[in-house]
Structures are given as structure tokens and as C-alpha cells.
Amino acid sequence: MSHEIIDFHTHPWIRPEDDICNYRDLPAEGATATFRRDLERCGITRAAGSVIPMGMNQTPEEQLCQLRLSNDYALTVREEVGDFYIPGMMIHPAFVRESCEEIERMHKAGVRLVGELVPYLCGWGQIGYVHEGMDEILALIGEYGMVVSFHSMGAREDEYAMVKNHPGVVFVAAHPGEKPSYLRHLEWLRELPNYHLDLSGTGLFRYGMLAHGVATVGAERFLFGSDYPVCSPGMNVGGVMYEEITDRERELILAGNARRLLGL
């Protein structure tokens, strides 16, 4: 049976240095063509996520430049591949006014996804998710009904606090992690109705992980993600297809939940 597949977690690139794949010589074709071709080969029909310009996060001026550049690049990718790509925008809690201006700009451009937010790559790893600047930014995100995808660093308490403190914002944590982290995610999914989990990165290769999560909290709380080009999208597609869940549950995870959250 064929399925619609929306990859909720990807990182397209414009410049060669922003391709974060660890094992690949750059192809002769354009970056966005490679992005679409690789994902479509796995049966993925649409892809969401943020562009992360690399090597610019040392000074405050560089961090602010990176914030705006990443959002410009995301719009450029959408121009080049059309509706195949669902752009995710970036914010920075040290730049509240500028982040709110970016939210206004990107929302007017039809962007409904924030992130994946990756603090350690974007210069605000020391600030973290619980911060008064972040609170102000998230309040505006909530007003616009946008969805926040954030990098989970082992299901830490600051991640839990951010989601709990902002019940009006929809959050999607990225990466189940190994069993201890995954079980914490499941506890928080049971408690927090605005909390969801994408399946990218570590975790899905452990057989039975997804079926256990579906039995525990329901299929409505999981979204397919690959973390391409860091991880193989084909392996993650296969991981979902092979799990012992129903076709209806599989459809929700592969595309239905992303459609619902993003209003597609």
C-alpha cells in the first residue's frame, strides 16, 4: 500500500558548506534538486524543516545575521522546489525584537513552522529553552498559531518546562533518543496535550519502539521525520513501515498529523 509521507524534519541547504551530511561529495546538480530527489526516492511527498547556515555563530552580529539568512534561505528553497518544501523559520531568544519581526515577516509569507530550533548550532546553546526572551517570542508564536519544532537533547527538564509553560503553543520535540529519554518523552506526551514527538535521529531503529509509543499515548502524538541529510530518510521510512501498527495509525504518523498541525 502506498502512503503519503510528509517528512517533518529536514535541513535543506543553499550553500555547499551548509550541507550537513557527513558522508557525501557534493553533486554537480543544484542543492535543492538534490534535496528533492533524495527524499522522493524514498517515497517522501513533502518535506518540512529549517535551513541552518553553518560557521556563523561566534559573535552577536554573526548570530543575528544567521537568524535572518536562515529564513531568507528557507524562502529561497520554497521558491525553487515549490510546495514540496514546507519552510521552517528560525528565532533567537537573545534578539527578541528582531525575532518577533522575523515571525511577522515569515507569517506574512505563509510560514507556519518554527524550527527545528537547534540552539547549539545557532549560538544560543547557553541560553536554552527557558528564558524571558524565549517566553516573549513564544507568546507571539502562540498568537499566530504556529508550530514549534525543537531539538531535544535527551528529554531535559528545560524542554519539559518550555512546553508546560506555554500551553497555547504546539510543540514537536525532535529525536526520540534511546530508551531512558524516550520513556521520559512518553511521560510528557501523556501529561501535556500540546506536546508531540518526531521520529528523526536516534530511536526508530530500535524495533518495537514506535508500536510501544502508539500503544502508550496514541498515534496522534507522533510525526514522521528523518533529519535528512544527517540521517538516511530511507531507513526511517522503513522503520515506520515495518512496525506492527495499523494502517490508519501509520497514515497519521506519516502525514496526517503533520497536515493537522500545520493546517495543510
- Give the number of C-alpha atoms closer than 13 A to the C-alpha of residue 177, restricted to the C-beta side: 17
The answer to whether 83 touches 46, Cβ cutoff 8 Å, is: yes
According to the model, what pLDDT value does residue 149 have? Answer: 98
Q: Give kind and range of the element (H or E) at residue 149.
A: strand 147-151
**What is the DSSP track for 133-145?**
HHHHHHHHHHHHT
In-domain check, residue 129? yes
* Domain assignment of residue 19, yes or no: yes
Task: Enumerate residue ranges in the chain where pLDDT < 50.
Answer: 1
Give pLDDT, residue 41. Answer: 94
> Does residue 159 lie in a domain region?
yes
- The CATH number of the domain holding residue 70 is 3.20.20.140
- Domain total for the chain? 1
Residues in the chain: 264
For residue 77, tell me if it sits in a domain: yes
Look at residue 57 in the predicted model and tell me its pLDDT. 73
Q: For residue 26, what pLDDT is reported?
A: 61
Instruction: Record the cell numbers describing residue 110, joined without a space.
Output: 505563509
Task: Name the strands in the sheet holding 113-117, side by side, starting at the edge strand that comes first in the sequence.
Answer: 6-10, 46-50, 85-89, 113-117, 147-151, 170-174, 195-198, 222-223
Judge whether 113 lies within some domain.
yes
- Examine residue 1 and state whether it is found in any structural domain, yes or no: no
* Pairwise CA distance, residues 61 & 63, whole Å: 5
What confidence tens digit (pLDDT) does each residue in 214-252 have?
999 999 999 999 999 999 999 999 999 999 999 999 999
Residue 261 pLDDT: 98
Give me the domain span that covers residue 117. Answer: 6-262
